[in-house]
Amino acid sequence: MSVSGRGASPRKRAPAKKATGANAARGGVPAQERELRAQGKKTMRKLLDAAMVVFDKRGFHAARVDDIVKVAKTSHGTFYLYFANKEDLFRALVADVAEEMTSLANALGDVGPDEAGFLELRAWLGRFCDLYDHYGPVIRAWAEADVDDSDWGRMGTETTRAFTGGLARRIAAANKGVDAEIAAVAFVAMIERFNYYNVSRGLRYDRDAMLETLTTIVHTGLFGGARPGKDARR
Amino acid sequence: MSVSGRGASPRKRAPAKKATGANAARGGVPAQERELRAQGKKTMRKLLDAAMVVFDKRGFHAARVDDIVKVAKTSHGTFYLYFANKEDLFRALVADVAEEMTSLANALGDVGPDEAGFLELRAWLGRFCDLYDHYGPVIRAWAEADVDDSDWGRMGTETTRAFTGGLARRIAAANKGVDAEIAAVAFVAMIERFNYYNVSRGLRYDRDAMLETLTTIVHTGLFGGARPGKDARR
Amino acid sequence: MSVSGRGASPRKRAPAKKATGANAARGGVPAQERELRAQGKKTMRKLLDAAMVVFDKRGFHAARVDDIVKVAKTSHGTFYLYFANKEDLFRALVADVAEEMTSLANALGDVGPDEAGFLELRAWLGRFCDLYDHYGPVIRAWAEADVDDSDWGRMGTETTRAFTGGLARRIAAANKGVDAEIAAVAFVAMIERFNYYNVSRGLRYDRDAMLETLTTIVHTGLFGGARPGKDARR
Amino acid sequence: MSVSGRGASPRKRAPAKKATGANAARGGVPAQERELRAQGKKTMRKLLDAAMVVFDKRGFHAARVDDIVKVAKTSHGTFYLYFANKEDLFRALVADVAEEMTSLANALGDVGPDEAGFLELRAWLGRFCDLYDHYGPVIRAWAEADVDDSDWGRMGTETTRAFTGGLARRIAAANKGVDAEIAAVAFVAMIERFNYYNVSRGLRYDRDAMLETLTTIVHTGLFGGARPGKDARR
DNA sequence: CATGAATGAGAATTCATTCAT
DNA sequence: AATGAATGAATTCTCATTCAT
């Protein structure tokens, strides 16, 4: 879940544009496979982290490579030693997030209508919030980058599908009354966007209150949980 | 809706030359409030419509005045005859949306746990979807514009507050078991984001299936509606 | 033959590179077809002329768009209003040259072994020298640009073929003792490169002396002309 | 050969940092005249060979130190251990070529109008083609490097003068009808450029056919050789 | 000797905005 | 009212050269 947990995915290279004739044969200059040593890895990390900070503050489009470099305390040239461009770097971050998300989706256990189900759901939602706390900048920027017919769309679609797929199965198991697939999307929509509002706007609800409410809504609305107040669960 | 507590202001292009006397104080606002004749109105509309098309395809930041002008089949010069800049035009669109949204928020009647409540909710959600169908580009662009600290943030916060406020009251009336304010935000989050996924992620669910499911979830989860299947509503 | 004789070939557009997503759909921004008015045409001409000057002084690679713009007394932005980049502009110049060359190649009449043939040849060579005087910068830069597997190679090959083709026919008619095709290439090689040496190096031979000598060599070596001195033509 | 009276010096990259004492006066010439051991010599050779490959593919300006280093399978740092910069390396290659050319120029014996003269000429042209086959990349790059006023111009002028000088004497001896100096330049122009076309323009004539034709043309046109066909030399 | 990493000046390109017609 | 042309600041990207290990 931590950024440092990127693991072994050393930039698979974005298709370098502008083949000035010169680099046409170079096969794409920047980071690519290049086995990185300790120092190189450290620098790459600095850049990725810095990018998160900048994306958070400005969003994807408004982020300037210059800003990232400044935050990372490196030079412009160094940036292009590791990434072909802003998009390339972003892709790296997105890959991380997608991975984390997919693994999180599969971490949701059975959610029954009873208290155990409630707690399972709440714990899981807690993890989602943690993830959003950490990767929020990337997730928010993702939506921004994903306009036009780039491949962000595809990545987003795939990730969303993977994420909702895991949840849909749990929902289907617990609730025959709704279209599990649509419900899963609604579920994800709600928690993602709620976190967005929470972080990006002045809302900043107390974590517990927020978790409690979200869990209740989802448990009741999707997993057949007892209606609070009326059924008095606790 | 969709906006955060920050705002956009990147790439402040140098205002180039002089600011001729009068205008200097107005901060450079060319047209806007001039009395427009028939032709003028038509041109302005062409530009607004074109902007929607472009925002839809590219998003706010990536949209170029040039693109808008091309779609509108006008010239660059003409654009600045009607709007001070891209942001100015966008503001006009946002104002429309904000109005529509506020009025929609107030249009939700009482939602009881019974079938009538369900239908009321469903009808209202239908209107929301219609609104999103039409203004989606603006809503999405709004979220994108709202990074960094400009006044988009304020507009967004206000609109969201107005929107959720209306819903919160209905929720509070129907459901004592949840924090109505948080629940309202979750509600809005879900429907806004669901619509976003639906258009942007290539999901494109059938409108009826989607409305049915969303309504069920919200009715059950937030308004004490009967659990479908088990309680067999219809 | 004059630069202004470019005629109606208003930039057929080089395949714009780097599709930032944004201009992907714009179909390539700069000059392209855009119907140009009087002023636009003038500016384009200024740029083309300036480019010739700069290519002459620095060669293709070392030429900076900045230099061209300075010589043309325009702005950087204006340059990109008319050409996608340096290469695009160059392509325009090359197209002109290629056209001139092809038409020149076809202008060579029958060259007999007599004095009339000598004079015909000499006149034709004079025209070639004029052409080189004017378009030298482009021809020289062409060779420089034509390294690597760009399409300069193709253009060069085609033009050379067209040019030598015309000459080969005349040679074949006048001289059965040599491979006319190879001989034509040798012919072209000689006159092109001679002019290059003459212009680019400190040689600067007198035009008449040079024409006289070149004509004699070619007439004797390729068209069966009388050997001067021995056969005493004049 | 191939060079003009100008020279190259574009994009003078700032020498970056300090010039440590001793070196300061030498103008920054790292290695070059260090006594090299076996390994050192091997590395240097690798770099020179690699440079030829790269110059061939890209030309002088477009050649990147990076490319050379990659082909040579060494590192950036190593390059500067042996050469002050790209130009320095190129100078080394050019020196070789200049030497070969000068010695070749002196290797042309008397060329009489008879068969012996024809064969002498043909053999000599064969050697020139061999030389071009081997050093073509350098010769071509030389012409390219020599724009603007550096010392490439001087080197080129000198080499050409030496080269044509030797030929001019032979021509003067055999042919009183032409200006021997101009004729010599024309001769060189033809054979250099023909070889260039042959490799760069994808012509690729058969070596024998090409030699036969070139020899015939030159022998007839410059050395009073019998007109083939008519005078039936063989 | 060798090398991977860092640097930063220079060149290219984009695009909002102004202007003359 | 409308429009084509011009401008130039802001940004991205490249690559020769230096440095620490």
Query: pLDDT at residue D16 above 70?
Result: no
Q: Do B57 and C25 touch (CB under 8 A)?
A: yes
Q: Which CATH superfamily is domain B28-84 in?
A: Homeodomain-like (1.10.10.60)
Q: Which residue has the higher pLDDT, C193 or B35?
A: C193
- Give the span between the Cα atoms of A167 and A188, in whole angstroms: 9
Neighbouring C-beta atoms of residue C82, cutoff 10 Å: 25
Query: Could you give the count of Cα atoms lying within 13 Å of B18 in the half-sphere of its Cβ?
Result: 3
CA–CA distance, D170 with C220 (Å, rounded to integer): 18
Q: Does C121 touch chain D (CB under 8 A)?
A: no
Cross-chain Cβ contact D67/A22 below 8 Å: yes
CATH top-level class of A90-223: mainly alpha
Cβ proximity of D104 and D131 under 8 Å: yes
Could you report the per-residue pLDDT of D110-168, keeping only the tens digit for each? 999 999 999 999 999 999 999 999 999 999 998 888 776 667 777 888 888 888 998 99
Other beta carbons less than 10 A from residue A94's beta carbon = 22
Q: What does the alpha-carbon distance between residue D36 and residue A76 come to, in Å, rounded to a whole number? A: 37
Describe chain B by its helix, strand, coil percentages, rounded to 5.
Answer: 65, 0, 35
B92: nearest Cα among B44, B39, B58: B44
Which has more confidence, D99 or A24? D99
**What's the pLDDT score for residue D228?**
59
With 50 as the cut, is the pLDDT of residue D205 above it? yes
Mean pLDDT lowest among A32-36, C103-107, D102-106, D117-121:
A32-36
Q: Which of C191, C224, C118 lies closest to D225, judged by CA?
A: C224
Decide if A22 and D64 are in contact by the 8 Å CB cutoff.
yes
Q: How confident is the model over D24-30, as a mean pLDDT?
A: 39
Q: To which residue do tokens 């959600």 refer? A: B125
Average pLDDT, chain D: 82
Spatial CB neighbours of A158, under 8 Å, sequence gap ≥ 6: A98
Average pLDDT (C158-175) is 91
Distance CA B78, CA C54 (A): 37
What is the per-residue pLDDT across A64-113, written as a single tens digit (0 to 9) for each? 999 999 999 999 999 999 999 999 999 999 999 999 999 999 999 999 99
Residues 173-212 of D with CB under 7 A from strand E: none
Q: Are C59 and D144 in contact (CB under 8 A)?
A: yes
Q: How far: C85 CA to E11 C1' (Å)?
A: 12
CB within 8 Å of chain C, chain A residues 126-165:
148-150
* Chain F footprint positions (protein CB, under 7 Å): 1-20
What are the residue ranges spanned by the domains of chain A? 7-88, 90-223
CB < 7 A to strand E: residues 46-65, chain B: 63-65
DSSP state of B227: P
CA dihedral B227, B229, B230, B233 (to 10 degrees): 60
Mean pLDDT for C8-30 is 35
Residues present in chain D in total: 234
- Tokens standing for A208? 């517990």
CA distance C31 to chain B (A): 14
Single-letter residue type at C21: G
Statement: residue D194 has pLDDT above 90:
yes
State the pLDDT confidence band at B144, using cuts at 50, 70 and 90: confident
Residue contact A144–B61, C-beta within 8 A? yes
Instruction: DSSP for chain D, please give it.
Output: ----SS----S-----S---THHHHHTS--SSSSPP-HHHHHHHHHHHHHHHHHHHHH-TTT--HHHHHHHTT--HHHHHHH-SSHHHHHHHHHHHHHHHHHHHHTT-----SSHHHHHHHHHHHHHHHHHHHHHHHHHHHHHHH--SSSSHHHHHHHHHHHHHHHHHHHHHHH-TTS-HHHHHHHHHHHHHHHHHHHHHSS----HHHHHHHHHHHHHHHHS-PPPTTTT---
Return the structure tokens found at B107: 């249009």
Is A18 in the B-facing interface, judged by CB distances under 8 Å? Answer: no
Amino acid at A100: E
CATH fold for domain B93-222: Tetracycline Repressor; domain 2 (1.10.357)
Give me the CATH topology for the region D31-84.
Arc Repressor Mutant, subunit A (1.10.10)
pLDDT tier, D8 (very low <50, low <70, confident <90, very high otherwise)? very low
pLDDT score of C24 more than 70:
no
Nearest CA in chain A to B205: A182
Q: Do chains D and B touch (3 or more CB pairs under 8 A)?
A: no
Put simply, whether B228 touches A (Cβ < 8 Å) is yes
Q: What is the pLDDT of residue D145?
A: 83
Question: Mean of the per-residue pLDDT values for chain A?
Answer: 82
Radius of gyration over every alpha carbon of chain B, rounded to an integer in angstroms: 21
Q: Which nucleotide is nearest to A36 (CA to C1')?
A: E4
The winner for highest mean pLDDT among A222-226, C15-19, D3-7 is A222-226
| Partner-chain contact C186 D217, CB within 8 Å | yes
Extract the tokens encoding C14: 């080089």
Topology of domain D91-222, CATH: Tetracycline Repressor; domain 2 (1.10.357)
Helix (H), strand (E) at residue B48 = helix B38-58
> Residues C102, C164: contact at Cβ < 8 Å?
no
Q: In angstroms, rounded to a whole number, what is the distance separating the alpha carbons of residues B64 and B21?
A: 29
What pLDDT, in 10s, does the model give residues A27-43?
Answer: 234 555 567 778 888 99
Q: Which residue, among C234, C193, C147, has the nearest Cα to D190 in the 3D structure?
A: C193
**Residue B95: is its pLDDT beyond 50?**
yes
Task: List, for residues D50-84, the tens digit of each pLDDT value.
Answer: 999 999 998 999 999 999 999 999 999 999 999 99
Cα(A224)–Cα(A218) distance, rounded to whole angstroms?
A: 9
3-state secondary structure of A74: coil
Cβ of A40 near strand E (distance < 7 A): yes
Cα distance between residue D1 and residue D132, in whole Å = 11
In angstroms, the CA of D67 and the C1' of E17 are apart by 42
C63 confidence band (pLDDT: 50, 70, 90): very high
Dist CA D26 CA C93 (whole Å) = 43
CB neighbourhood size of B73 (10 A): 9
Query: pLDDT at position D36, please?
Result: 72
What pLDDT was estimated at residue C52? 96
C7-88 folds as Arc Repressor Mutant, subunit A (1.10.10)
Kindly state the percentage of chain C with pLDDT values over 90.
59
Listed as ranges, the nucleotides of chain E within 7 A of a protein C-beta are 1-20
* CA A231/CA B177 separation, integer angstroms: 10
Distance CA D164, CA D117 (A): 19
Six-digit token string for D97:
């070529």
CB distance A22–D57 less than 8 Å?
Answer: no
Within 106-135 of chain D, which residues have Cβ less than 7 Å from strand F? none
Residue of C nearest to D234 (CA): C177
Cross-chain Cβ contact A18/C22 below 8 Å: no
Top-confidence range, A143-147, B49-53, C144-148:
B49-53
